[in-house]
Chains A and B, each alone.
Chain A
Amino acid sequence: MIRKPKLIMIEKMVHETKSIVSLYFHYIPAGCENKDGQSTVPFTPGQFFMIWLPHLDEIPISVSFFEPPDYWGISVKIVGEATRALCGLHVGEQFGVRGPLGSGFEIISSPGIFFGGGVGLAPLRPAILRKVRDKQKPTVVNCAPCGEDLLFHGEFEQLAQENGIDYYFATEDGSCGCQGLGTELLVQVLEKFPSKTRIKYLAACGPERMLVKALDIAEKFKVLLFQASLERMMRCGMGMCGLCAIDPLGLRVCKDGPVFSGEVLRKCTDFGRKVREFTGHKRDL
């Protein structure tokens, strides 16, 4: 794979919430094209793309859908100029894709628990869908400020009905599901597991302060493996420039991450506290 952007055409757009749009497209990374039309694209759920908007910007966005050999989806929350432009595109229009990049979630044999806040559900979704495809029944915990912001809510409700996944959701204003914070719901969900069975796997993505709480909870419940996906400013996306380094371990979110284990995150004093800006200046999260 050559990590240079390649222009793709948008095939489908889904307005998921008032600020999150999913974009679907066919894409084979540069250098992975195969003459017989078969591509071998290595992908692990949790990986991300650098998305290029010519004349504007290139930003890291998680992969939220992959159907081999070459059908991909990303889910984008409008937070700034580039994401606004991306979400303002239409079917048939183009943008550039580079990747997939970074490390992914560990896909272990146990069904696992997937905990996402807001657009944090996006990188978890390919892992959840892979579990469903493998006839496992993962537990999904979804949370957002209000019902309108619950990402993939309809899809997970359907998966709960048709495939038997355990789906829980909460909103801060109580407009949909339980009222309260996602971390409060997570505790309730973990308490449902029989006290003698050790929970094997918990994957989380969302606002970093929420992830800090999720790690505390995972440790309290002695979860065997906790993994969380982080977000940082990036340039190269391939472990060269060092902009996304988290201290004191000097790990690169784009290459060593974005998915890190709880054990590693516990040693990162930056986790939940500090991020680097484009200059390299470190500021409070």
Chain B
Amino acid sequence: MLETNIASLKLKTPFILASGILGVSGSTLAKVFHAGAGAVVSKSIGPVPRQGYNNPSVIEIFPDTFLNAVGLANPGIDEFAGEVKIAKDQGTVIILSVFGGELQEYGEVAKKAEKMGADAIELNISCPHAHISCIGADAQRTSEVVRLVKSQTHLPIIAKLNPNVTDIVEIARSAEKAGVDAITAINTVRGMLIDIDAKCPVLANKSGGISGKLLKPIAVKVVYDLFESVKIPIIGCGGISDWRDAVEFFLAGASAVQIGSALWKGFEIFTELAKGTKQYIVENKAKNLQDIIGRAHKA
């Protein structure tokens, strides 16, 4: 009932672990997958190890709303092979989130990810507190990076979009035209918290990206708009913390959704999401998940 396809990627449930959450260790990724995720997205991995920003790098700003600037910390694709192997050995469907300093580095990392057994690639062209966000802020460069990675790997390519732009639809269309297989909407929204006693921004990087509850209405609106503008599957992402949130994204037009910040509460969320969504489908006399995708547009 909950099966969904993202291009050639067949998922048993439409609930995917979002990038940047628990994505450092292969065993944690496997644990999340076996807790009921349809797939898991790794932490964004680049060509070489990267330290990221100092702490504070992740804080809560309102209940269930977070601000982070981790700065793409990662051990580099070559070392990460070990973690992918651990996850794959346990049957995990893993989408590797990739980034690069230069466009061609995206291709190199994606190529290596395919070799090590990743099931799909998510292009991080949108991290709001790192220089790569400029790729996702530009339709031309977005299409260039999609074309380049497409030419380097046979895996399905998902572009994760940057919401900190004037016209996200234009960027999504140009990614679609360049051959991207799906879109994740959205990455975090830029934000800052200033401590009024310390009189300085709290994050070491000063600004960061807002995730969690606060992000949901922004993300739902983007998914709704994209559903009317592109034909490729949309993966909704932003502030989903229960099945009602997930259903909202499906009705807006998402074929699958990503769960991130809400994971701090526990992995049981995946079971709850599946149970609630199934019940909703039955109660609303729909046949399956596909039947409710985009339904809010028909009203």
Question: Chain A: residues with CB nearer than 8 A to chain B?
Answer: 2-5, 7, 31, 50, 52, 54-59, 94, 96, 98, 234-243, 245, 247-250, 252, 255, 276, 278-282
23 pairs across A/B with beta carbons < 8 Å? A3-B60, A5-B195, A7-B197, A50-B55, A50-B56, A58-B55, A59-B55, A94-B198, A96-B202, A98-B56, A98-B59, A236-B57, A239-B263, A240-B58, A242-B22, A245-B25, A250-B22, A250-B28, A250-B31, A255-B264, A278-B51, A278-B52, A280-B43
C-alpha spacing A279/B76, complex, angstroms = 8
- List of A residues within 8 angstroms of B74 by Cβ: 279-280
Cβ contact of B73, chosen from A7, A280, A282, cutoff 8 A: A280
By the criterion of a CB under 8 Å from any partner CB, how many residues of chain B are at the interface?
Answer: 49
Cβ contact of A236, chosen from B23, B27, B51, B58, cutoff 8 A: B58
Within 8 A of A (CB), among B53-67: 54-63, 66
- List of B residues within 8 angstroms of A249 by Cβ: 27, 31
- List of A residues within 8 angstroms of B204 by Cβ: 57-58
Q: A94-B197, A241-B70, A279-B74 are in contact. Are A250 and B25 (CB under 8 A)?
A: yes
The 6 closest A-B pairs by CB, nearest first: A250-B28, A236-B58, A58-B55, A242-B22, A250-B27, A245-B25
C-alpha spacing A61/B125, complex, angstroms = 35
- Tell me the dominant secondary structure on chain A's binding face: loop
- List of B residues within 8 angstroms of A58 by Cβ: 54-57, 204
Cβ contact of B195, chosen from A7, A245, A279, cutoff 8 A: A7
C-alpha spacing A237/B70, complex, angstroms = 13
Q: Closest B residue to A244 by CB, please name it.
A: B24
B79 contacts partner chain A, Cβ-Cβ < 8 Å: yes
Q: Closest A residue to B60 by CB, please name it.
A: A3
Which of A57, A242, A280 is the most central at the interface, judged by chain B CB atoms within 10 Å of its CB?
Answer: A280
A54 in contact with B198 (CB, 8 Å): yes
Cβ contact of B198, chosen from A3, A7, A252, A281, cutoff 8 A: A7
Q: Closest B residue to A269 by CB, please name it.
A: B27
- List of A residues within 8 angstroms of B66 by Cβ: 236, 240
What mask results when residues 22 to 36 of chain B are scored 1 for a CB within 8 Å of chain A, else 0?
111111111110000
A280 in contact with B86 (CB, 8 Å): no
What mask results when residues 199 to 218 of chain B are scored 1 for a CB within 8 Å of chain A, else 0?
01010100000000000000
Cβ contact of A279, chosen from B20, B51, B68, B260, cutoff 8 A: B51
B156 contacts partner chain A, Cβ-Cβ < 8 Å: no
Q: A55-B200, A240-B22, A281-B75 are in contact. Are A3 and B27 (CB under 8 A)?
A: no
B59 in contact with A4 (CB, 8 Å): yes
Which of B27, B30, B66, B260 is the most central at the interface, judged by chain A CB atoms within 10 Å of its CB?
Answer: B27
Cβ contact of A245, chosen from B24, B73, B197, cutoff 8 A: B24
C-alpha spacing A238/B51, complex, angstroms = 20
With contacts A240-B260, A241-B21 known, what are 8 further pairs, Cβ within 8 A?
Answer: A240-B22, A241-B22, A241-B70, A242-B24, A247-B27, A250-B29, A278-B51, A279-B52
